[in-house]
């Protein structure tokens, strides 16, 4: 059998992709299809054969979208998203600006500053849980010492405080990503721009506004989207310590999906919420994507 060169090339191209494609098809595409299917089957549970007998209808969508709890959970997800995103970004930007200067020991400082990136979310949240412990936590101790609080606060037990408490380890684990991406963007800025500004006698602040910011805004937008999508689906940091509680006070949409499936075994509702969360992610991308491209110009 002889094949033309073009055909041989095409076979090679697809042949090389095939193993990765199979893995993705089985473990991403098929589960995704199953989620959509299950979302239209009221009463679907863990049993595949039983689920197959249920007729398709969209009642759970209607019920879930009418339920105020769903909107509360979504609202909480956005509190969590922005509450962790903005501080992470600011810390990332600050550290990136510092690390962009040349000084002795810079490599070591860079390594240490982005270290939290490598720490498992579970370990990070357990460390924070201990630091913020309501009876023996060092943070309570320190805050009391400097007079910021007059009683020890139950950071992870109080419904009002728990969101704040799970956001903190998320910031801690999230900021190094900004440090790394922004540092890369900063290092790509031609030094001549700053030299020219120096000749013109520009102040540091105006250099930042007129040179640095336009050059890093595109990288910032991209990093913000990627990190935002990440916080939207964070599971380990919250689940390892609160499981979404107390009550539902720290239940974001990612946690809610998991609990509906593995605590209440309501696969149908979990799938509906899953589809909703994918749609929300898609909307976030659509809103910010044009903005991102525009920033590039």
| Region 247-286 residues binding another protein, contact defined as CB under 8 A | 253-255, 257-258, 261-262, 267, 270-271, 274, 277-278, 281, 285
Which two three-digit tokens encode residue 110?
Answer: 């860079």
How far is CA 198 from each of CA 15, 183, 195, 285, rounded to the nearest angstrom? 56, 22, 5, 39
Least spacing, CB of residue 146 vs another protein, in Å? 13
Residue 58 — φ and ψ, nearest 5°? -105, 20
The least distance separating another protein from the CB of residue 173, rounded to whole angstroms, comes to 9
- Binding of residue 181 to another protein (CB under 8 A): yes
DSSP 8-state secondary structure symbol assigned to residue 209: I
Footprint on residues 109-148 left by another protein (CB under 8 A): 109-124, 126-131, 133, 136, 138, 141
CB 267 within 8 A of CB 31: no
According to the binding rule CB under 8 A, does residue 196 interact with another protein? no
Assess 27 for contact with another protein (CB under 8 A): yes
Which stretches does DSSP call E strand in the chain?
none
245 binds another protein (CB under 8 A): no
19 binds another protein (CB under 8 A): yes
| Of 240, 244, 250, 251, the one binding another protein by CB under 8 A | 240
Is residue 189 left, alpha or beta, with left meaning phi > 0 and alpha meaning psi from -120 to 50? Answer: beta
Neighbouring residues of 108: CB distance < 8 A, sequence distance ≥ 6: none
Query: Does position 87 bind another protein by CB under 8 A?
Result: no
Binding residue for another protein, selected from 14, 71, 208, 289, defined by CB under 8 A: 14
85 belongs to the binding site for another protein (CB under 8 A): no
């Amino acid at each position: 059998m002889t094949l033309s060169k073009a055909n041989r090339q095409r076979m090679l191209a697809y042949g090389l992709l095939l193993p990765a494609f199979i893995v993705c098809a089985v473990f991403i595409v098929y589960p995704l299809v199953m989620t959509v299917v299950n979302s239209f089957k009221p009463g679907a549970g863990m049993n595949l054969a039983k689920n197959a007998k249920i007729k398709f209808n969209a009642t759970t969508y209607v019920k879930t979208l009418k339920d105020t709890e769903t909107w509360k959970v979504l609202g909480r997800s956005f509190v969590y998203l922005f509450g962790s995103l903005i501080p992470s970004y600011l810390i990332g930007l600050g550290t990136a600006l510092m690390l962009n200067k040349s000084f002795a020991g810079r490599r070591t400082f860079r390594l240490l500053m982005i270290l939290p990136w490598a720490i498992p979310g579970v370990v990070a949240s357990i460390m924070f849980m201990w630091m913020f412990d309501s009876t023996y936590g060092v943070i309570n101790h320190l805050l009391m010492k400097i007079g910021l609080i007059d009683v020890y606060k139950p950071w992870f037990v109080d419904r009002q405080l728990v969101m704040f408490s799970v956001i903190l380890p998320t910031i801690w684990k999230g900021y190094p990503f900004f440090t790394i991406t922004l540092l890369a963007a900063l290092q790509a800025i031609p030094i001549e721009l700053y030299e020219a500004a120096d000749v013109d006698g520009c102040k540091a602040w105006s250099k930042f506004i007129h040179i640095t910011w336009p050059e890093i805004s595109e990288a910032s937008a991209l990093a913000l989207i990627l990190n935002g999508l990440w916080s939207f689906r964070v599971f380990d940091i919250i689940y390892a310590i609160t499981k979404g509680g107390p009550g539902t006070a720290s239940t974001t949409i990612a946690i809610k999906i998991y609990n509906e499936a593995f605590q209440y075994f309501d696969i149908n509702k979990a799938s509906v919420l899953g589809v909703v969360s994918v749609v929300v992610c898609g909307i976030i991308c659509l809103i910010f994507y044009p903005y991102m491209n525009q920033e590039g110009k």
